[in-house]
Amino acid sequence: MGESSSVEGIHNHKDLSIQTDKQVNPNLSIFGCKILAKGHGFMVSESQYQEAVILIVDDQSTVIILLESMLKSAGYKNIHNTTNSSTVRDLYRNLRPDLMLLDIQMPHVDGFQVMGQLKVANRKNEYLPILVLSAEQDQEIRHRALDSGAKDFLNKPFDRIEVLMRIRNILEASLLHKEIRHQNEDLEKRVQERTNELRETQREIVQRLGRAAEFRDTDTGAHISRMSRYAEKLGRAAGLGEEECELILLAMPMHDVGKIGIPDLILLKPDKLTAAEWDVMRTHTILGAQLLSGSQSPLLQMGEIVALTHHEKWNGTGYPHKLAGHDIPLPGRICAVCDVFDALTSVRPYKEAWPVEKALEELRNLSGSHLDPYLVDLFDEIVPAILKIKELYPEPSTPSSQVVTSI
């Protein structure tokens, strides 16, 4: 590269600093950037300009000294430089500069190669504030530089006012871009926090819906907690993803929510129900689905499926729609297995709790008729995890220091 430190024309202009003289016309515009006195409403504050991180890359130290002198006299404080272009990628990653003054013609790694490296490393598609330094007047080189990521040019020899104004233009864009990015990140964080709050609120509503059904039945809160977690474990064993398993965990408490609409004389009747009363009782599946229908929430949609289909049977003899086999949605089939197991192993006013092994044997007996045989086999495989859940969520009457009744 030829001698590039010429300062011809520099002394033809008065000193121009970041804090411009108050007599400067506030509407004066040079190279598209208004020169405004301090206090005239910059979107970027003077202190932000002064503290902006600037990286100068040129293989000639005389050029670096010249540019640093201009920048420091204008009030810039945070200036870095290198004459070794092979180190620029690491320097850029560590410094995250608000502006990089980059020479094009350098040995080993030229300016085009440097910009190529930065574009590849720019995974977040951030603004690359590159101001190219060049003594070349060739339009093809300028077009190539723009296509490579340069935002503007500085021609050698340098003109002081042009240098400072072009630098300020790119710094303004770079700093505003960074501010917008920070605001977006903050907004995303706040949206995520709000989303989490809404999810927790939705979760609480679901729990309370499940409790409302419990108050009208003989089932306990521990039954809901156990069955929900059994279902989550079985869903994982069946290969469902994390999100689907969480939905199953949270939706299971709503499986019997339709019992809210069943008259007490039937729901709480101590004697055997008549055929007509059983017809009414079976409507709790449809009532529950109607209660949860029409929602855009994936959780309530899952709850609707479970409420409607958890009494369908593998052989098509269940209710309300006599679905069979894989026509029964998987969440409904999972619910059926877990509900039967927990009902068998729990104390009820009309029965004692069955031993676990006897209950598992009954699941096997129901496999292929009432229950999905594949899910029954999977349930057998996860019995150790099921027993841990059963121990953690005992019936309220069972002495334990670890009684938990919430999802």
Same domain, 183 and 303: no
Same domain, 72 and 177: yes
Residues 236 and 385 in one domain: yes
Do the domain assignments include residue 1? no
Cβ neighbour number for residue 378 with a 10 Å cutoff? 19
Residues 182 and 272 in one domain: no
Q: Which one of 172, 188, 204 terminates a domain?
A: 188
Total domains in the fold of the chain:
2
Same domain, 222 and 179: no
How far apart are the C-alpha atoms of 368 and 33, rounded to whole Å?
78
Q: Residue-wise pLDDT tens for the chain (407 aa)?
A: 433 333 333 333 333 333 333 333 333 333 333 333 333 334 788 888 999 999 999 999 999 999 999 999 999 999 999 999 999 999 998 999 999 999 988 988 999 999 999 988 877 777 889 999 887 777 888 888 888 888 988 888 888 899 999 999 999 998 988 888 888 889 999 999 988 888 788 778 777 777 777 666 655 568 888 999 999 999 999 999 999 999 999 999 899 999 989 998 998 888 889 999 999 999 999 999 999 999 888 999 999 999 999 999 999 999 999 999 999 999 999 999 999 999 999 887 778 899 999 999 999 999 999 999 999 999 999 999 999 999 998 877 544 333 333 44
Residue 196 lies inside a defined structural domain of this protein: no
Residues 386 and 248 in one domain: yes
Q: What integer pLDDT is reported at residue 39 of this predicted model?
A: 38
In a domain, 403, yes or no: no
Query: In sequence order, what are the residues at sequence separation of 6 or more whose Cβ sits closer than 8 angstroms to the Cβ of residue 324?
Result: 312, 313, 314, 315, 316
Residue whose entry in the numeric block shows the structure tokens 């670890």: 402
In a domain, 285, yes or no: yes
Closest CA to 214 of 265, 258, 246: 258
Cβ-Cβ contacts under 8 Å for 356 (sequence gap 6 or more): 345, 383, 387, 390
pTM to 2 decimal places: 0.57
Give me the phi and psi of 32, to 5 degrees please: 80, 5
Provide the CATH number for the domain around residue 160: 3.40.50.2300
Q: What is the pLDDT of residue 65?
A: 94
139, 288: one domain: no
Structure tokens at 386: 């099921």
Per-residue pLDDT, 122: 78
Hey, which residues does 78 pair with through a beta bridge? Answer: 53
- Is residue 81 assigned to a domain? yes
Tell me, yes or no, whether 155 and 256 share the same domain.
no
- 258 and 334 fall within a common domain: yes
What's the CATH number where 248 sits?
A: 1.10.3210.10
64/139 same-domain check = yes
- CA gap 243, 227 in Å, rounded: 18
Residues 147 and 104 in one domain: yes
Interacting residues of 219 by C-beta distance below 8 A, sequence separation 6+: 213, 256
Percent composition of the chain: helix, strand, coil (DSSP 3-state, to 5)? 55, 10, 35
Of 173, 188, 203, the last residue of a domain is 188
Q: Which domain holds residue 119?
A: 10-188
Are the beta carbons of 254 and 307 closer than 8 angstroms? yes
Distance CA 68, CA 62 (A): 10
Query: What is the reported pLDDT for 391?
Result: 93
pLDDT on residue 4:
36
CA dist., res. 227 & res. 149, Å (int): 58
Integer Cα distance of 67 and 269 in angstroms: 92
Residue 262 lies in a domain: yes
Let me know whether 224 and 179 are in one domain.
no
